[in-house]
């Protein structure tokens, strides 16, 4: 009987957390990653990681409130038990990271310092300088290196995951991967495969994500039968620095300290911005939201910037979309406070933002959606059953999904500083499940499966690769990618209109047809990055379809998914009685909308067709916290909330009455 | 304006092939950086003399100078390609740009090198905190803000290889493990729990390739993109190994 | 980069000790001897009778009598040999990139290795030319006493220095190499031994070491010019006390 083995694909926070936890349990892990794991995209996270802590507890905070903030922030689109379990574990996750030597910022007493992040009233966020993600991943990387030195972990860095190996019974038995240096392709037998392969920002061309975040791995699992959930939920960050190669984050603190957002009233005014008089500047956030000014919530800032550039054609530059974020008028002392982030701008743009307004634009930032994963509800606690064979399991037995690649923790929108938590939590939490699964395997290990299964899988991928390399056509993969990104960014990000999305869907169909004629400029068999990119492009086209089609079908507004044509008309009456009437109508529409759309989008790959995707909808477990309207910025928000509470209470009484009868 | 500039890249098809150089004409636009230039070459790999070539292989990932992937030698100076703005690079070299792979690691292809040796060094110096396990054992030890301020800069090391590339002591003939690994040993020796394995790390630093092989050229600290005080770590390693050897000699 | 092989050589086993010994011996006794040597030579510039003060200084050294040879061997030649041989290994294992990275400390790094080699060659030449070891092979010019107890220390040295036009420049290069190597070696040893850690303290140590080197360089160059301009035709004074027979082989 062969030795039992687990393959973890992806060496970011989630993959490393799972690997170290499995190795600790004495389970051998093959860790496959396209880049040395230390270079994974997790390093880019700046802000911090959330958990309830002693400090916030004394202000009335508890795990339940963290849970509530998370599902409210996610517009109730998450199954609640996994989120509750995550928030319950959060304080212990941070404690563990602390013990691993993460250089969290400290108070004068030597305790972990915390800051407040968006979407909550409490200072829940522990942080390590301005590079928390980097510090966390290094701590986990070091632990994995320790197990590697002990022989329990084999790292395969610069290896690309090509697809899972699924046997005739539908059980995942391993993966096929390719050495990105030698281009050698081989199979890895595994009793459990864990996908921790991150997000898919590159579908949008340039984003705040790293070059490896193509969604390629998720698409390959999707093709092999794994379902994809809530693909259309893509978070956009309002302020990023538009670079020629990628979009880099510009922290919200620039606006927090008094930075002002504006565009010249004359479209693409070519004058030096400093010479444009105030009367010819359009401070659109201040004019449209006099109460909040430049500090409107992220999603609103994002939509308005987008609207000004795309719909009003007031972008600062003719060739690319951007607006000014101006800190030049701030006093030197205030500018000094922003030194850290202003230096990033200066380093990558070459302009001094203390003297010239910064050019910024919203950028795709995070995929809330991802591969579908299961959980087992613990009826006693409302959380998950630890070690249950179902936790984090995809619909393909033997294949588990964790981290950003997993759809289940953030619903319709992710709170800041919750992503690092969900990655590490799901990585740690999947380990007992896999331990139990390996223990339950009575018929030996995957290595005992017929070798023809593995050989066949490798052969199939070799054939696909040979076909791609041998393709004779005249289409350039980089140009197709650019067109895909442009169309997706224009029509399927911030403001979504069905006719625009349809336009993008036909663009995707066109690009798919052109992709068949794609030609590689490098047909060699050594470190062929051209091949790797072109292969991922095929996957991106599939992910684009999942995202765009999901967005087209979801006719509502929820979380980051904003469709102005399906927005419930906001109350506007001044007369209290009339306002209450409108609020009641609003709540009825809200209920109706939830009845129809409070469901996860589940995409399924339909083989045989022309890359077609089939959609279904899954009910969301909202058994712990009943959904309620997000009324931020709405007129009569309090009345709406009041009416909603009354409606809930009435429904409750009805239910009780029925049970009583 | 159709300004353009020339980028000359040292290429190598695989570890056993000869080096050769190829030039590419890149249309100028403001805000370019080296990674964008390499992306443009990948999209249209046509050389200055109009011959079609293959895309130049290179490492890149985050493009924010925090992952450490895209280290290369640009105009003779090792640095990250993502933060190498073309405007600045052109200023250094009067209109032409010269790009080479790092010279201290085996070339895989073109600008891609194999930096495995650096990660192996991290294993040698046991750059980790040996915790009992990953179950819940309460929070970690208290750390003063002062200690955190010392540790954080060292902990920003992204194993990019700039320090060893510029180090005249890190080469084929010398066993030196390089500034990055020395600094990591010092980082973990300062950690309240990591301290427990201090002597094991110092033993490595006292051995062949350890701190005695530093030649104090101090290039490391000057080329480090993260401004890590590498020479502080090196001097501390000198002091700590000396004291350790004295302790060892006199029976602790 | 090259990983040490499985079989641990004797040098590898005592790696740290050997390297630290190299650093220490460079300072004491070799460096200390250089200071004494240059300062002694500088007495050639002392006022009064030409070479008189110099003669007195070297007489004091040679007062060791028969012990001088073992002292020289144990405290100067062997440490110097050890420092040089290991030094050559260090030079061969380095890969200077001062052309590429023109930082001050990197230029000094390269200069340390270059001056090490120059110093070694110069000292080899110097010993052949002056020390009685060199006599069998046509060197060994220095004589503490001439016939009838004449004080010929300064005279024989000056004659040797003035023998050809290129000798004084060779001495200048050689002595300055030794001085730089010592002063810069002192600065790096403060880092090696972990005494100066922060860049600020290293900067201060840099000034101190530079001043130290400057003083030694002035002493060395002064002595050289003293011997270069010494009037070799004037008759040497006669020494009155009587070590002449014992130490006639010079220093």
Residue A562 Cα to chain centre, angstroms: 17
Q: The domain containing residue B226 runs over which residues? A: 116-249
Chain C partners within 8 Å of B199 (Cβ): none
Calculate how close chain B gets to C147, using CA atoms only, in Å. 51
Please name the CATH architecture into which domain A237-362 falls.
Answer: Alpha-Beta Complex (3.90)
CATH code of domain C16-95+102-228? 1.20.1300.10
Element (DSSP H or E) covering residue A175: strand A172-179
- Name the residue with tokens 């390719």: A178
Chains adjacent to B (≥3 CB pairs closer than 8 angstroms): A, C
Nearest to residue A20, comparing CAs of B58, B190, C100, B128? B128
| A208 within 8 A of A201, measured Cβ to Cβ | yes
| A372 within 8 A of A615, measured Cβ to Cβ | no
| CB pair distance less than 8 Å for B104 and C1 | yes
Nearest to residue A446, comparing CAs of A194, A217, A197, A165? A165
| CB pair distance less than 8 Å for B176 and C1 | yes
The enclosing domain of B89 has a CATH number of 3.10.20.30
| A297 within 8 A of A120, measured Cβ to Cβ | no
CATH code of domain A471-564? 1.20.58.100
pLDDT tens per residue, range B119-176 = 999 999 999 999 999 999 999 999 999 999 999 999 999 999 999 999 999 999 999 9
pLDDT (average), residues A264-272: 94
Which residue, of B113, B130, B145, is where some domain finishes?
B113
pLDDT tens per residue, range A86-106 = 999 999 999 999 999 999 999
| Chain C contact present for B150, CB below 8 A | no
pLDDT (average), residues B191-217: 96
Which residue, of B83, B113, B143, is where some domain finishes?
B113
Nearest CB to B216: which of C97, C191, C194? C191
- Name the residue with tokens 């790096």: C188
| CB pair distance less than 8 Å for B207 and C94 | no
Chain B partners within 8 Å of A428 (Cβ): 134
The enclosing domain of B181 has a CATH number of 1.10.1060.10
Which residue, of B87, B113, B139, is where some domain finishes?
B113
Pairing of strands A29-33, A599-605: unpaired
Residues 6+ apart with CB under 8 A from B192: B140, B141, B142, B143
Q: B90 with B161, same domain?
A: no
Question: Cα–Cα–Cα angle for C4, C9, C13, nearest 5°?
Answer: 90
Q: What is the DSSP string of C119-167?
A: HHHHHHHHHHHHSGGGGGGT-----SB-GGGBB-HHHHHHHHHHSSTTH
Of A298, A496, A628, A630, catalytic: A298
Residue in chain A lying closest to B157 (CA): A138
pLDDT in tens, chain C (251 residues): 444 444 456 667 789 999 999 999 999 999 999 999 999 999 999 998 888 999 999 999 999 989 999 999 999 999 999 999 999 999 999 999 999 999 999 999 999 999 999 999 999 999 999 999 899 999 999 999 988 888 899 999 999 999 999 999 999 999 999 999 999 999 999 999 999 999 999 999 999 999 999 999 999 999 999 999 999 887 777 765 544 333 334 34
Chain B partners within 8 Å of A206 (Cβ): none
Q: B125 with B29, same domain?
A: no
Question: Cα–Cα–Cα angle for A108, A110, A115, nearest 5°?
Answer: 75
**Distance in angstroms (rounded) separating the CA atoms of residues A247 and A279:** 30
Nearest CB to B193: which of A20, A99, A145? A99
Name which of A21-35, A224-238, A294-308, B91-105 the model is least confident about.
A294-308
Which residues of chain A does CATH 3.90.700.10 include? 237-362
Question: Quick one: tokens of A2?
Answer: 């062969």
Q: B120 with B187, same domain?
A: yes
| CB pair distance less than 8 Å for B138 and A95 | yes
**Distance in angstroms (rounded) separating the CA atoms of residues B58 and B189:** 35
CATH code of domain A6-233+368-458? 3.50.50.60
Q: B93 with B134, same domain?
A: no
User: Is A390 annotated in the active site?
Assistant: no
Counting the structural domains of chain B, the total is 2
Banded model confidence at residue A399, pLDDT cuts 50, 70, 90:
very high
| CB pair distance less than 8 Å for B171 and C16 | no
**Distance in angstroms (rounded) separating the CA atoms of residues A390 and A397:** 9
How many residue pairs from chains B and C have C-beta atoms closer than 8 A? 121
3-state DSSP percent of chain C in helix, strand and coil, to 5: 70, 0, 30
- Name the residue with tokens 């650096």: B118
Residue in chain A lying closest to B62 (CA): A210
Q: B236 with B202, same domain?
A: yes
| CB pair distance less than 8 Å for B60 and A211 | yes
Q: What is the mean pLDDT of chain C?
A: 90
């Amino acid at each position: 009987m062969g030795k039992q083995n687990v393959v973890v694909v992806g060496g970011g926070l989630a993959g490393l957390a799972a690997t170290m936890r499995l190795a600790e349990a004495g389970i051998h892990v093959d860790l496959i990653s396209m880049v040395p794991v230390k270079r994974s995209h997790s390093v880019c996270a700046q802000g911090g990681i959330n958990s309830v802590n002693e400090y916030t507890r004394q202000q009335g905070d508890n795990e339940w409130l963290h849970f509530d903030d998370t599902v409210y922030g996610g517009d109730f689109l998450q199954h609640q038990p996994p989120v509750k379990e995550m928030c319950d574990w959060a304080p212990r996750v941070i404690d563990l990271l602390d013990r691993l030597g993460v250089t969290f910022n400290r108070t004068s007493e030597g305790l972990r310092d915390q800051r407040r992040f968006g979407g909550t009233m409490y200072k829940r966020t522990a942080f390590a300088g301005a590079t928390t993600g980097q510090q966390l991943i290094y701590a986990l990387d070091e632990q994995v290196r320790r197990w590697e030195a002990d022989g329990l972990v084999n790292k395969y860095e610069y290896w690309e995951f090509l697809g899972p190996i699924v046997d005739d019974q539908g059980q995942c038995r391993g993966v096929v991967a390719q050495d990105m240096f030698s281009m050698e392709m081989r199979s890895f037998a595994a009793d459990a495969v864990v996908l921790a392969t991150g997000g898919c920002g590159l579908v949008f061309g340039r984003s705040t994500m790293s070059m490896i975040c193509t969604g390629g791995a998720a698409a390959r699992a999707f093709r092999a039968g794994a379902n994809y959930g809530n693909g259309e939920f893509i978070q956009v960050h309002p302020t990023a620095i538009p670079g020629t190669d990628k979009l880099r984050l510009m922290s919200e603190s620039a606006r927090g300290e008094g930075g002002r957002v504006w565009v010249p009233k004359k479209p693409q005014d070519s004058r030096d911005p400093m010479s444009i008089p105030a009367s010819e500047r359009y401070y659109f956030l201040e004019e449209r939201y006099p109460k909040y000014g430049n500090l409107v919530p992220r999603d609103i800032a994002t939509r308005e910037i987008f609207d000004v550039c795309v719909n009003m054609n007031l972008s600062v530059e003719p060739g690319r979309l951007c607006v000014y974020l101006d800190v030049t008028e701030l006093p030197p002392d205030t500018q000094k406070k922003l030194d850290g982030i202003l230096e990033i701008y200066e380093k990558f743009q070459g302009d001094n933002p203390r003297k010239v307004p910064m050019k910024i634009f919203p950028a795709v930032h995070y995929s809330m959606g991802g591969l579908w994963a299961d959980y087992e509800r613990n009826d006693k606690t409302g959380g998950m059953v630890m070690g249950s064979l179902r936790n984090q399991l995809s619909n393909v037995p033997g294949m588990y999904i964790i981290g950003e690649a997993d759809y289940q923790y953030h619903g319709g929108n992710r709170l800041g500083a919750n992503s690092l938590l969900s990655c590490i939590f799901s990585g740690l939490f999947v380990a007992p499940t896999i331990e139990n699964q390996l223990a339950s395997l009575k018929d030996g290990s995957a290595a005992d499966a017929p070798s023809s299964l593995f050989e066949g899988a490798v052969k199939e991928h070799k054939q696909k690769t040979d076909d791609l390399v041998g393709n004779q056509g005249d289409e350039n993969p980089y140009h197709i990618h650019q067109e895909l990104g442009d169309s997706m960014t224009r029509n399927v990000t911030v403001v979504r209109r069905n006719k625009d999305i349809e336009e993008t869907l036909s663009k995707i169909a066109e690009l798919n047809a052109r992709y068949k004629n794609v030609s590689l400029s490098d047909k060699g068999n050594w470190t062929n990055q051209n091949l790797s990119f072109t292969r991922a492009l095929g996957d991106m086209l599939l992910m684009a379809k999942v995202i765009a089609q999901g967005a087209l079908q979801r006719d509502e507004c929820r979380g980051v998914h904003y469709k102005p044509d399906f927005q419930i008309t906001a109350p506007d009456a001044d007369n209290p009685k009339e306002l209450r009437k409108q609020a009641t109508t609003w709540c009825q529409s809200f209920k109706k909308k939830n009845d129809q759309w409070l469901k996860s989008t589940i995409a399924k790959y339909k083989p045989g067709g022309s890359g077609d995707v089939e959609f279904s909808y899954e009910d969301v477990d909202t058994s712990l916290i009943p959904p309620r309207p997000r009324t931020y910025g709405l007129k009569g928000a309090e009345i709406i909330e009041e009416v909603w509470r009354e409606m809930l209470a009435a429904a409750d009484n009805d239910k009780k009455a029925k049970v009583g009868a | 304006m159709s300004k353009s500039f020339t980028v000359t890249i040292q290429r190598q098809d695989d570890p056993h092939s000869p080096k050769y150089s190829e030039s590419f004409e890149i249309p100028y636009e403001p805000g370019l950086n080296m990674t964008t230039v390499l992306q443009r070459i990948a999209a249209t790999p046509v050389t200055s003399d109009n011959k079609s070539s293959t895309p130049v292989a290179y490492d890149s990932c985050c493009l924010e100078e925090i992952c450490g992937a895209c280290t290369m030698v640009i105009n003779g100076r090792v640095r990250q390609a993502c933060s190498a703005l073309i405007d600045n690079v052109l200023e250094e070299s009067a209109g032409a740009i010269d790009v080479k792979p790092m010279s201290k690691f085996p070339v895989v292809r073109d600008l891609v090198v194999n930096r495995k040796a650096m990660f192996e060094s991290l294993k040698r110096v046991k750059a980790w905190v040996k915790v009992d396990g990953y179950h819940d054992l309460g929070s970690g030890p208290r750390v003063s803000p002062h200690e955190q301020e010392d540790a954080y800069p060292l902990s920003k090391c992204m194993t990019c290889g700039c320090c060893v590339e510029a180090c005249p002591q890190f080469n084929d003939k010398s066993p030196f493990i390089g500034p990055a690994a020395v600094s990591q040993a010092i980082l973990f020796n300062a950690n309240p729990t990591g301290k427990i394995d201090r002597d094991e790390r110092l033993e490595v630093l006292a051995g062949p390739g350890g701190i005695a092989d530093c030649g104090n050229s101090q290039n490391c600290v000057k080329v480090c993109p993260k401004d890590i005080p590498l020479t502080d770590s090196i001097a501390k390693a000198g002091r700590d190994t000396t004291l350790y050897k004295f302790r060892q000699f006199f029976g602790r | 980069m090259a990983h040490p092989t499985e079989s641990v050589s004797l040098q590898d086993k005592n790696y740290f000790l050997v390297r630290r010994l190299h650093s220490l011996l460079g300072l004491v006794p070799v460096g200390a001897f250089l200071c004494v040597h240059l300062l002694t030579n500088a007495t050639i510039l002392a006022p009064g009778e030409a070479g008189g003060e110099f003669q007195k200084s070297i007489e004091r050294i040679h007062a060791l009598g028969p012990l001088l040879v073992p002292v020289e061997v144990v405290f100067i030649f062997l440490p110097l040999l050890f420092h040089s041989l290991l030094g050559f290994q260090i030079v061969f294992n380095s890969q200077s990139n001062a052309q590429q990275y023109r930082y001050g400390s990197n230029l000094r790094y390269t200069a340390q290795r270059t001056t090490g080699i120059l110093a070694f060659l110069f000292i080899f030449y110097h010993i052949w030319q002056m020390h009685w070891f060199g006599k069998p092979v046509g060197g060994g010019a220095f004589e503490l006493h001439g016939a009838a107890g004449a004080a010929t220390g300064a005279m024989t040295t000056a004659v040797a220095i003035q023998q050809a036009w290129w000798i004084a420049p060779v001495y200048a290069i050689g002595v300055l190499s030794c001085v730089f190597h010592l002063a810069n070696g002192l600065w790096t040893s403060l880092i090696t031994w972990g005494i100066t850690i922060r860049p600020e303290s290293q900067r201060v140590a840099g000034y101190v070491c530079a001043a130290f080197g400057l003083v030694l360089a002035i002493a060395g160059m002064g002595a050289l010019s003293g011997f270069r301009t010494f009037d070799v035709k004037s008759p040497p004074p006669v020494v009155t006390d009587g070590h002449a027979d014992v130490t006639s082989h010079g220093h």
